[in-house]
Amino acid sequence: MAKRTTGNDGDEAAGGNRLFIASAAIILVVVLLGVFVVATSGDDDKDGKTAGAQPTSASTPTSSPDGQAPDDGAKGCKPSDTDKSVPTTAPDDVSWDLVNTVALPRSKSAGPLKIDGKTASCYAHTPRGALMAAANGFYRSILSAPDVKPLKAQVLPSAGRNVLEQHLKAIDQPAQNGQMAQISGFRITSFTDQTSVVSLVNGTQAAGSLKSFDVTLQWSGGDWKVVAQPNGGLSSPGDRLDSLTGYTQFGGL
């Protein structure tokens, strides 16, 4: 059974599944990301879509080495997961680390096997490795604000990443307890050895706050990296859901 632990950069247990807007900079980032819910009744989004920019294709990463991790396989990073089948059940070797306010998964076989502050790396070159990279790369990059080093390490260089970097630098305080929605489910939308799209769900069905959002990843430098959208978002705008039907339940809280 999955267990939850508190990592080096953990905080008190997250007590809610909603995002409280603390500053204009955070509002802007939320609009770009389009996956978090404001601390209201949740009835504002009547048409079933999240707020934010219209869906766009992922930006093309540059060839700049900035933010690229070395080939971890050459430095002793060898995850044991080699299963290339798309999972329809939650990995059974997952523990959960509380990072600021969000419980994030860590698999002994699929990664991340290396964690340095809010930067996580060393994932299996498999669908399960992509799942772990999507959850950790997405949340850790945002939770590190205004520090952008984790963003540069976990997200491929691109114009979109540059946009998000400037917005994260403008955030004057980190997310507080209960301000960010917790992961509650997943689905691997597509997978190849080079590119994967992972659909994550956050929020709770009881609160009527379930939202799905797609995170695109690319295998680069011997690891999975998140691909930023041209507008600076780390995911495509998502959909409100009535239930987790079609998704696998997955969460640490």
Q: Output the DSSP codes for 57-83.
A: PPPPPP---TTPPP-GGGGT---S---
Classify residue 103 as exposed, middle or buried by CB count within 10 Å of its CB (0-12, 13-18, 19+).
Answer: buried
Residue 246 has a pLDDT of 95
Name the pLDDT band for 252 (thresholds 50, 70, 90). Answer: confident
Q: For 128-145, b where at least 16 C-beta lie within 10 A, e where not — what string?
A: bbbbbbbbbbbbbbbbbb
Give the pLDDT confidence of 13-37 residue by residue, as tens digits: 332 223 323 334 444 455 445 445 4
For the chain, the domains span: 3-41+91-249
Residue 169 has a pLDDT of 94
pLDDT at 244 over 80: yes
End-to-end CA distance of the chain: 13
Residue 205 has a pLDDT of 86
Give the pLDDT confidence of 24-81 residue by residue, as tens digits: 444 445 544 544 543 323 333 333 333 333 333 333 333 333 333 334 443 678 999 9
